Structure 1
Amino acid sequence: MNNSGPIVLSELLAPETINLQLSGTQRDQVLSELVGQIKELNNQPQARETLLRALEEREQLHSTGIGDGVALPHARNALVGLVNRPIMVFGRHQTGVPYGAIDGAPAKLFFLLIAPTVTQHLSMLARISRVLRDPKVRRGLLAADSADKVIKTVKDAEARI
C-alpha cells in the first residue's frame, strides 16, 4: 500500500478479508465473524478480544449502522499498537441482522474498519461513506458472487469519486 498518498480502499481488501456468507444472527456474532477474517489476529487472542470489546463498546455508544442495509463497524478511536496498518474487512449477510440503523433496516453489508492512526481512521471512514452513497455500488456488493467482484466493485466506485 502507498503510505504517502490517500488510502485506497480496494487495496485494503483481499479475498481473505472478505466473507460473503456471514451466518451470525446477532450484531456481536457478526462482529466476531468479521474480526475472525483478520489473519494478523489469529494467533493473538488478547488482541482479538481487545478489538471485539472496542467494537462492542462503540456500538453501545451509537450504532455504526448507517442505513440502506450498511454497517461500518469501527472502534471509537484509532487502535494504536493493535495493528500496524489500516485493515478493512467486508462481510455480507444474506438476510441481514438488526443493527440499530437510523432507518431501521437490517444490515446486510458490513465494512469493518481498523486503523493505527486517527488520520487513517477518519480517512477510511470518509472514503467508504462516499463510496457507499451510490445505490449502484450497494447493489453490486449485494450481487457479487466472488471476493474478486467485491474488490472490483469497490475499485470501480473509488475511480468515480
Structure 2
Amino acid sequence: MSESDSIVRMIETGGVYYNISGATPADVFASVIPELVLPACVSRESLLAGLIEREGLMTTSIGNGIALPHPRTPLVHAEEDERIFICFLDKPVNFDAMDGKPVYVLFMILSSGSGSHLRALSRLSFLFQKDSFRALLKQKPDTSELIHAIKELL
C-alpha cells in the first residue's frame, strides 16, 4: 500500500466531522470524542485523557488554523486500527499556535507507533504546504471532495 493510500485509508476509517463545538482544546476534544468511530481497543476516556495530556505538553497546532492532536503514547497496536479523524470546528479555537492563528480544523491521529505516526505527519505536512489544499479546508468540504483532493495531491 502506498503512503497516499495509507493516509486515505486512515481518513476513510476515521471519518470527517463537522460543527464541533468548544471554547478550549479540551472542550473540543470532549465534544467530538463521543461522535468518533473508535477501534474496540480504544476507550473514549483514554483517548480524551491522552489528547489533553499531549496538548498540555505543547500545542499541536502547526499554524494556518490547523492542529494535529494525538495521544503521546499509541492507543492502537495494529495498522488496521489506525485512524485520522478530520474535525471541522464550528468556531475557531485558540490552541496557542506559534503564528497566533486560532484553529478551525483538526487532523486527529491515532497511530500504532512512532514510525507510522511520522509517516502520517510527513504526508499531511506535504498537503498542508499546498495553498490549494489549505483553501479547500477553509471551505469545509464533504468527505468525497476531501479524499479526491488528497489523492490528486499525493
Shared fold by TM > 0.5?
Answer: yes
Q: Do the aligned partners of 2:14 and 2:86 also contact (CA within 8 Å) in 1?
A: no
1:62 to 58, 63, 87: 58
RMSD (CA atoms)? 2.4
In structure 1, the residue corresponding to 2:38 is in which secondary structure? helix
Establish whether residue 108 from structure 1 lines up as the match of residue 138 from structure 2.
Answer: no
Within 5 Å, which residues of 2 pair with 1:37-48? 37-40=35-38, 47-48=43-44
Question: What runs of 5+ residues in structure 2 fail to find an aligned partner?
Answer: none
Q: In terms of mean alpha carbon deviation, does 67-76 or 20-29 score higher?
A: 20-29
User: Which structure 1 residue ranges, 5 or more long, are not aligned?
Assistant: none
Aligned length: 153
1:152 paired with 2:151, answer: no
2:136 and 2:76 map into 1 onto residues whose CA distance is 33
CA contact (8 A) 1:78 1:121 kept: no
1:86-119 CA-partner distances (Å, limit 9, x unpaired): 1000011243111111011000111000111221
Question: Which amino acid counterpart does residue 119 of structure 2 have in structure 1?
Answer: S
- Distance change in 2, residues 1:15/1:113 (3 Å): closer
Q: For residues 68 and 54 of structure 2, what CA distance do their matches in structure 1 show?
A: 11
Q: Measure the CA separation in 1 of the matches of 2:120 and 2:32.
A: 17
Are the aligned partners of 2:33 and 2:44 in contact in 1 as well (CA < 8 Å)? yes
Using structure 2 for the length normalisation, give the TM-score.
Answer: 0.85
Identity of aligned residues (%): 25
Deviation at 1:72, TM superposition (A): 0.5
24-33 or 53-62, larger mean C-alpha shift: 24-33
Partner of 2:7: 9
Q: Is the 8 A contact 2:13 2:83 kept in 1?
A: no
The whole-number CA distance in structure 1 between the counterparts of 2:79 and 2:46 is 11
Specify the SS of the correspondent of 1:14: helix
- 1:71 offset after TM fit, Å? 0.4
- Quote the residue 1:19 is aligned against: 17
Residue 6 of structure 1: how far off its partner (Å): 3.0
- The residue number in structure 2 matching 1:98 is 94
Which runs of at least 4 in structure 1 moved beyond 6 Å after TM superposition? none
Classify the secondary structure of the residue corresponding to 2:19: strand
CA distance in 1, matches of 2:8, 2:35: 16
Once residues 134 and 94 of structure 2 are traced to their aligned partners in structure 1, the CA distance between those partners, rounded to angstroms, is 18
